[in-house]
A and B are shown apart, each in its own frame.
Chain A
Amino acid sequence: MSTDWKSFQPLLIPKIPNLHKIDVYEKNGGYKTLKDILTSKDHTPESVTNTVKAANLRGRGGAGFNAGLKWSFMPKPDGGPRYIAANGDESEPGTFKDRQIFEYNPHQFIEGSIIAGYAMDITAVYVYIRGEYRSWINMFQKAVDDAYAKGYLGKNICNSGFDLDMYVHSGAGAYICGEESSLMESLEGKRGYPRVKPPFPAQKGLWGRPTTINNIETLANVPLIMKNGSEWYTSIGAKTHPGPVLYGISGHVNKPGVYEYPTGMLISDLINEVCGGMRGGKKVKAVIPGGSSTPPLRGDQLDGVRMDADSLREAGSMMGTAGMVIMDEDTDMVDVLWRISHFYHHESCGQCTPCRDGTGFLEKTLIKIKNGEGETRDLDLLLDLCTQIEGRTICALADAAAWPVRYTITRFREDFEKRVKKSAFALA
């Protein structure tokens, strides 16, 4: 890590009081980057895209795809409307970072969206916010209204001739609508069923028009990159996965919360230094690094594991949304897994067979084990069912449902074996 995390000053949510007010944001240099880009001759849409691409800004919504590269997939403008759908659905258990942006630094996200809009010649940005975030939707709507009043949104932004509208859209309580293609369906007023790809959103997205979907936090990073350059940005945090990240840490730590630090933080540092250690000085049993769908890591295998895509892949998990759940040694992994499976069973949209019925099968089998009626063969059955579900559906929710089951059982098998009877015969 090239920067010392202890001296790191937050960039996404700087410690400036009342930053959510547009005057304060402007006073602290806000919207200046935007004005520069829109008015100076040095910047073209291509150069903005290339800078973001060079900064290797990886999506903060879970998949970790290079945002600039994603932008470059958009076809050439043909005069028709083009959209950005900003994903603030944030429904994955353990994830609660975007709402901090809506509450404390909404204008940086708005500025980032406008820059992205300029880079891709966008007509309108739809900000899709989780329906349960009612107060945050109201807060953010206020910020959008302010930006309109100051002329940062609407027609002829900063007298540059560039027009962009921003609409705030409230979700209706479905996890699946955080999946990019069902988010688009939901925005179109339809049932939140993921779409089959191809066609990809960049070819045929909202209302059949080119669309890019970015996470809120991803877009909030854009003004930083444009202001300070891609080289500066790549110097923050892990080499292959640079930049500041909002770590949403929950669970059995002394000081849970959202912390902003560079990527590539040691998980042990996050637990012990940032969050003040484990509650009651207990041992770490398990860490879910990036929201409930990412495979959990064992507490005794955390040495040297850092919060970036490469290190976590090596350790057998994923960065996800950096919504970390820390569990201590008293945790029963059967209960944890049942709760996670219950969530995915409840939230499956029901479009594809393996997920619709498979998630129910998983949960019902886990309830059986939880109630002490399970047998060893049920564990094998669960693993077999995961094979039947993974990679067999339109969207990645089935994977998200199957991975925790597979990896919790394989990594914490002793917890499960304690709860099950020995099978009289093995499952074929």
Chain B
Amino acid sequence: MPEIFIDDKRYEFEGSPVLLQFLLDVGLDHPFFCYHPSLSIPANCRQCYVEVGTPVPNRETGDYELDENGERVIRFFPKLMPACKMEASDGMVVKTHRSSELVKRGHKDVLEFILMNHPLDCPICDQAGECPLQIQTYKYGPEGSRFEHKKVHKPKRIKLGPRVILDAERCINCTRCVRFTEEISQTHQLAIISRGDKNYPATAPGREFDDPYSLNTVDICPVGALTSSDFRFKARVWEMNQTPSIDVTNGKGANIDIWTRDNLVMRITPRFNPNVNDYWMPDFGRDDYRRMNENRISRPEVKVDDTRIKSSWHNAVLTFNEYLSGVNNKEILGIGSAFSSVEDNYALNKLLNRIGVSELVFTPNIEEGSGDGFLISDDKYPNTNGCRLLGLKEMNPAGLNKAISAASVKVVVMMEDDLVGRSVVTAEDLKDKKVIYFGSNNNETSKLADLVVPITCSAEHTASYVNVDGRIQRTIPAKETLYTNRKLNLEMSVGRLDRYATKYDNWSSDDNRIDCVPAWEFIENAAEQSGQPFNFADARDVFEDLSKSIDAFSGITYERMDDELGVVIAGSEKQKVTSA
């Protein structure tokens, strides 16, 4: 296997990796700004200098030249080379700042230049705490600056587009944002304008940066130059918890991190998954934090004499069982939801099956032609394939409407899906029927329900979703509900080192907790109340149960989903998402 010597230590490699990436992959910290693994390599920041030499081949023997001591003769490049523009080659010798004073000096020199015109106001900069420039200055920068002149002033607070604001003074011209719009989103909306130290990225005159992926430029900006107009100055990085999760606004299921503070979701950023979304996500997925925070249903609600009142959980369970047992099982219609998780649909289906109700029906929410073939799919719900694999009965909206409005149906049990808001059914259709609605947010459908069961949203539970490509991925709870806490619920965030907070940790908070439970838990409570518990203690039990009873899910576990970055369910990729 080809070998490379970095700081006198031997490493092996395959193929011809980019030297900088190889350094990072073997765990050697190295400073850089403009390089990004998913973008082209411009080598313009000049931060990742190394000394590089290659052995001298002997043309006659085909071997390498040796010196008098029998050591290989190494021919070094006469200048410092940017590691991002070098490819590892067999026998290459690399000196980083660990072994070369010249490289160390090179890193300092470039940082001195970058900081020369960069505002030194980290305390009021939104990027502080997650700023590559700040981090690398501490690690590799000069102790002070010799620059005693006026800095270059550039425009600040430029609204590039509806979601992105530019502070040109902070910009270090790494061109990551420009390359993103050229190579990834391909809208070509940004370009560097002006020249020399007056450079900064901008849109063409009169144009907006309204790229549907524009906020990714904020993520990859290595300084505080690009900020999200929605998130800026709302929270400090170190105040938030970062929890890996899945985007549920879309059939693609982009991998995300949910950032919470005091049980409020502050922002959503993409998480790297080469099989799904790489480093990116669409802008509207980030807006989903509003759904997680606002307009939530807290505590069950029941309708008594046409008035909606808050109820206790105990009463809600009793009411639920009363509705189901009060009618003939042929008069009950269970409606699943492609918006809800595999576990929730499965639990409801299992309960209703047991009392003799046939499979849940569901209707996908697909807007043909609204996808872009990248990370925005036609399918607006995250779990359409999951419902199919569970064996739920797929119907088109008209079919579902017919099924609901049939006179024989007396009780409708709905998993979270705003069928009224989606105009699948009308208030008229639901008249004279008992409607049980499992939902996390108030909407048109929950308004009409006779019993509303508040359930956790994707930021509060562990649950799995099968995306449009048949990949099953799971969420991890990022914020607490009223009856869970971080310490007891082991599925909780792994964002902070001190993640299992006690009440005495000053960052742990009781604020903003919603009084809701996962849908499967309510169903378990109902089953237990009727004397036949399923014995589901947590979401793992539900998933274990369904992976045993449904072939498609057999052999799949949460551990596999975590380790393999989601598992493609055999055969499911052939299931075409259609509007039926």
Which residues in A have some Cβ–Cβ distance to B below 8 Å?
174, 191, 193, 196, 345-354, 356-361, 364-365, 367-368, 381, 388, 391-394, 427
Contact = CB atoms under 8 A, between A and B. Distances in A.
Contacts of B113: 353-354, 356-358, 361, 388
Given A347-B196, A348-B195, A348-B197, A353 B46 contact: yes
Contacts of B47: 353
Nearest to A398: B46
Nearest to B43: A196
Given A359-B196, A361-B116, A352 B44 contact: yes
Contacts of A359: 196-197
Interface in B115-173: 116-117, 146-150, 152, 172-173
A356 B46 CA distance: 11
Most chain B CB inside 10 Å of its own CB: which residue of A191, A346, A356, A365: A356
Interface stretch (B104-112, B258-266, B351-359): B104-112
A427 B146 contact: yes
B42 A191 contact: no
Contacts of B192: 191, 350
Interface in B184-229: 191-192, 194-199
Contacts of B194: 350
Contacts of A381: 146
Nearest to B108: A388
B59 interface: no
B79 interface: yes
Contacts of B501: none
Given A359-B197, A364-B149, 5 more contacts: A193-B44, A196-B41, A348-B195, A350-B173, A353-B110
Contacts of B146: 381, 427
Contact of B114 (A193, A353, A368, A427): A353
A391 B109 CA distance: 13
A346 B196 contact: yes
Nearest to B198: A350
Nearest to B106: A392
Contact of A349 (B49, B106, B191, B196): B196
B196 A356 contact: yes
B109 A354 contact: yes
B443 to A, nearest CB: 49
B18 interface: no
B48 to A, nearest CB: 11
B149 A368 contact: yes
Interface string B392-418: 000000000000000000000000000
B23 interface: no
B359 to A, nearest CB: 57
B173 A351 contact: yes
A388 B197 contact: no
Contacts of A368: 148-149
A347 B195 contact: yes
Most chain A CB inside 10 Å of its own CB: which residue of B44, B45, B147, B192: B44
B117 A360 contact: yes
Contacts of B149: 361, 364-365, 367-368
B42 A196 contact: yes
A353 B43 CA distance: 10
B80 interface: yes
B85 interface: yes
B173 A356 contact: yes
Given A345-B196, A346-B196, A354 B152 contact: no
Given A361-B147, A388-B109, A351 B42 contact: yes
A351 B196 CA distance: 7
B331 to A, nearest CB: 69
Given A347-B196, A350-B195, A351-B173, A357 B44 contact: no
Nearest to B113: A357
Contact of B117 (A345, A349, A357, A392): A357
A368 B149 CA distance: 9
Nearest to A428: B146
Nearest to A176: B195
A368 B150 CA distance: 11
Given A345-B196, A368-B149, A392-B106, A351 B44 contact: yes
Contacts of A351: 42, 44, 173
A361 to B, nearest CB: 6
A356 B117 CA distance: 10
Contacts of B79: 391-392
Contact of A354 (B41, B43, B46): B46
Contacts of A361: 113, 116, 147, 149
A191 B191 CA distance: 9
A360 B196 contact: yes
A164 B85 CA distance: 36
B146 to A, nearest CB: 6
A353 B45 contact: yes
B196 A353 contact: no
A356 B192 CA distance: 13
A392 B117 CA distance: 19
B44 to A, nearest CB: 5
Given A174-B195, A191-B192, A357 B46 contact: no
A354 B116 CA distance: 11
11 contacts: A349-B195, A350-B197, A350-B198, A352-B44, A353-B110, A353-B173, A356-B113, A356-B199, A361-B147, A361-B149, A368-B149
